[in-house]
Homo-oligomer: A and B are copies of this chain.
Amino acid sequence: MDLTRAAAEALDDADPLAGFRSRFAGASDDGPDRLLYLDGNSLGRLPVATSAALARVVEEQWGEGLVGSWASWIGEATRIGDVLADGVLGARPGEVLVGDSTSVNLYKLLMAGVDARPGRDVLVCTADDFPTDRYIVGGVADSRGMTVREIAADIDEGLDPAVLAEALDERVAVVVLSHVAYRSGALADVVAITRLVQASGALVLWDLSHSVGAVPVELGAAGADLAVGCTYKYLNGGPGAPAFLYVRRELQDQLRSPIRGWFGHRDQFAMGPSYDPAAGIERFGVGTPPVLAMAAVEVGAALIAEAGVARLAVKGRAVTDLMVALADEWLAPSGVALASPRQAGRRGSHVTFAHPAAWQLTQALIDRRVVPDFRTPERVRLGPAPLYTRFVDVWDAMDRFRTVLDERAFEGYPAERARVT
């Protein structure tokens, strides 16, 4: 690979997604001291269209339309869900609902899945999954008198399906797994693992938070059962934006939400005496969705659907390949080790590096206007967003990273960790 900056510029010139950069606030800056934002995997950038969309919802719909605007808001959770289903998740209309947080959605589907597998008393997750996933699995298991099998996943290389296979038997009700590992970016094989889990009679519940909008998610083709995911990362829906949930159509009638809110009712405004769950995906709704936040999700989801996940994945692999190649050349000699799968097809769109002073390196990079994030243990995580991160952004970020290492600038930072996001 040609590792010159000119080569990176040439890749940008040939990037079919280049036109999308101008659709994001701040992403077109090309000054030498510009902010190099490599944390779109944590909080995606602001789409330029979001402000106007929000102003319309706030000033016209809320301010002027007042309560009458519920005529359009009422269908928002499924309308945005369908945009995600069709344009991003490879699912069918009526299989995706937007609302609540990823954690709440995970809880709802996990409880519903347990109820749909009576007599089975084991939940499976990986010991390395994102904390909220593990905590929720543990909480559900405790409350239902179930056992959790936390299986080993290599924190850099991800889950080996053979290890998972050993944990599956007729006692397992639901398996909770992340599609892309939050720390290493390791990509799980959704098709193979779904088949494996289903063969054991269990349900599989995918957390797509770190993959959606960056790598192809073909829920329909994989025959996936259940999924949840975040909209504030690659989907650029804004801080804490409402999450989504997916339930395969054929399963919807068999599952019931543990939280019987009025937005999951078949006829919520009849306000009748008993709870009668809606026929389709709406049965997994609970309370009134946060309309302002939903409006921002709609803009972000539509942008990703417009760009197309296939193109995003190609760009994601190329831009992380460049990052890995530059790290081999510039960072490895200073003791920075790749902590993600080396093969692009086995990664999402972020790459993680290990170094004993990862915490100090993170602080030094931020002071040099490179935004990565720190993850335990001793990892620096860099997430180029395929939709708006340029190849030269990666080149320049790695160049600043190299300088921090070469000048040992990170040594001036305190090793003691502050509370970080």
Q: Is the CB–CB distance between B135 and A239 below 8 Å?
A: no
Residue-by-residue, is A25-69 near B (CB-CB < 8 Å gives 1, otherwise 0)?
Answer: 110000000010101001101100011001100110111101111
Q: Is the CB–CB distance between B100 and A139 below 8 Å?
A: no
How many copies of the chain does the oligomer comprise?
2
Q: Is the CB–CB distance between A26 and B64 below 8 Å?
A: yes
B-side contacts of A371, CB under 8 Å: 66-68
12 further A-B contacts with Cβ under 8 Å, apart from A25-B59, A74-B419, are A61-B239, A67-B421, A68-B371, A100-B101, A100-B104, A135-B262, A138-B274, A139-B258, A139-B275, A241-B290, A269-B421, A293-B293
Interface size grouping (class) on chain A: 35 or more
**10 A-B pairs in the complex with CB atoms less than 8 angstroms apart:** A26-B64, A46-B62, A101-B289, A103-B262, A103-B286, A107-B259, A130-B271, A135-B274, A139-B260, A269-B420
Q: A200 in the interface, Cβ–Cβ < 8 Å?
A: no
Q: A291 in the interface, Cβ–Cβ < 8 Å?
A: yes
B-side contacts of A290, CB under 8 Å: 101, 238-242, 290, 293
Q: A132 in the interface, Cβ–Cβ < 8 Å?
A: yes
Q: Is the CB–CB distance between A43 and B66 below 8 Å?
A: yes
Q: Is the CB–CB distance between A103 and B259 below 8 Å?
A: yes
Which residues from chain A sit less than 8 Å from chain B, CB to CB?
25-26, 35, 37, 39, 42-43, 45-46, 50-51, 54-55, 58-59, 61-64, 66-70, 73-74, 100-104, 107, 127, 130-132, 134-136, 138-139, 143, 230, 232, 238-243, 258-263, 265, 267-275, 286-294, 296, 366, 371, 373, 375-376, 419-421
Q: Is the CB–CB distance between A239 and B69 below 8 Å?
A: yes
Closest to A150 in B: B273
Q: Is the CB–CB distance between B240 and A73 below 8 Å?
A: yes
Q: Give the distance in Å from the alpha carbon of A50 to the alpha carbon of B136 in the complex.
A: 35
A410 to chain B, nearest CB (A): 19
Q: Is the CB–CB distance between A101 and B375 below 8 Å?
A: no
Are A272 and B131 CB-contacts (below 8 A) given A291-B238, A296-B292?
yes
Q: Is the CB–CB distance between A46 and B67 below 8 Å?
A: no
Are A286 and B138 CB-contacts (below 8 A) given A67-B39, A240-B291?
no
Q: Is the CB–CB distance between A58 and B51 below 8 Å?
A: yes
Q: Give the distance in Å from the alpha carbon of A265 to the alpha carbon of B133 in the complex.
A: 13
Q: Is the CB–CB distance between B51 and A263 below 8 Å?
A: no
